[in-house]
Amino acid sequence: MTVPYAPRVEVHKLVRNVPRVSFAPIWYPVDQYATSRLRAKYVVELLAGDPTWDVELNHDPTADIAVIVQLCSDQTLESICQNRRQVVVYDICDRFFATNNVFRTDEGALHARQRCLEVIDRADVLITPTTRLQTELTRLFPNKPCFFVPEPIDYRASLRPATPVGTRRLVWFGHVTRGNFESARWIIDYLRNHYDYHPVLVTTPNTLAHRFPAYSPFCVPWSVENVQRELSTAELCVVSHATEEPGKSPNRFVAAMMHGVPTLVSGSPSCSAILKAAGHENFAVESPYALGRAITELSDPEKRRTYVHDVQLEIWRRHSPQVVRRAYVDLFERVLPGNDNY
């Protein structure tokens, strides 16, 4: 669901004579969509106590800087196109510039590729959640400055100890669309058939039943609370991305690992980069043989603890609240009208 102009959410009292920034996600309610949480709501909360910035959720035509997250409504597009004095930062979280997706919104059908290109054309600056996507956009749109800005950690997770061996619960969570689930099926099936793991799929039941009916018995309806609960008892988690989505964010991997769940990765350059930096590339698995070796290692409690500890430290270095806040402040200082340092 989209809300072209949702009621303004006051995060803190208006401070006079400070730059104003508005974040405009396309999907509402914001808590139900990862992009709206991670690239809008959580960032607004991070900056809420900063006396040097007045930050709000939902588009404000009078703000100095407008951050458009993922896509935008017709009304918001008209507003930013009419107001050329407003600096527009377009947060491109997905490859909608290269897809034919059509979404139902309150204004009718929204053609993702067309809208994405329209916002790119208007934007002063582009930002992305991964360096892989940043590289692609820089190549495709060389006249648009493009910066990588990391995401906060989702599901309020932070540095929890490794979950124990023994539950045989294998958690997968997220949307089943765009290859997220299909690319993970081989791991789920292999671990179920050869290692007696019980899949727990935290997602939207109707969509799973429609697309993958054989997996419906393993479904737990998605909610923030259900993801948190299932991760707290999981022995393993799996995160994978489709081959046509190499620039996707590692947010699910980050959330699972910070909950203390040893997580297997497949087909995700952004997750593999974290594993490589932490010295645990062997948990990026692309074959049954590599998967079997990873399972053997993770059956050892000490190796589980080491894996989780090392990766959590690397994640915190990249995605801690302080790191994310600094990245946005640096961005805003660079693009603020009058600075034009981009």
Per residue in 166-178, pLDDT tens? 999 999 999 998 8
Q: What CATH number does residue 304 fall under?
A: 3.40.50.2000
**What string of DSSP letters covers 149-218?**
-PPPPGGG---PPPPPS---EEEEES-STTTTTGGGHHHHHHHHHHH--EEEEEE-HHHHHHH-GGGGGG
Same domain, 284 and 325: no
Same domain, 207 and 124: no
Assess contact for 4 and 76: CB atoms under 8 A: yes
Same domain, 129 and 65: yes
Same domain, 160 and 132: no
Tell me what pLDDT residue 244 has.
Answer: 85
Tell me what pLDDT residue 1 has.
Answer: 54
Tokens of 103: 């979404």
Same domain, 200 and 212: yes
Same domain, 173 and 257: yes
Q: What CATH number does residue 113 fall under?
A: 3.40.50
- Looking at the structure of the chain, the number of domains it has is 2
Task: Say how far apart CA 79 and CA 123 lie, in whole Å.
Answer: 12
Helices 301-319 and 269-278: crossing angle, nearest 10°? 110
Task: Say how far apart CA 288 and CA 270 lie, in whole Å.
Answer: 21
Per-residue pLDDT tens for 96-114?
999 888 998 888 899 999 9
Please indicate, yes or no, if residue 164 is contained in any of the structural domains. yes
Tell me what pLDDT residue 243 has.
Answer: 87
Residues of the chain with pLDDT under 70: 1-16, 340-342
Same domain, 213 and 96: no
Query: Radius of gyration over alpha carbons of the chain, in Å?
Result: 20
Tell me what pLDDT residue 11 has.
Answer: 44
Domain range enclosing 174:
154-319
Same domain, 33 and 92: yes
Please indicate, yes or no, if residue 15 is contained in any of the structural domains. no
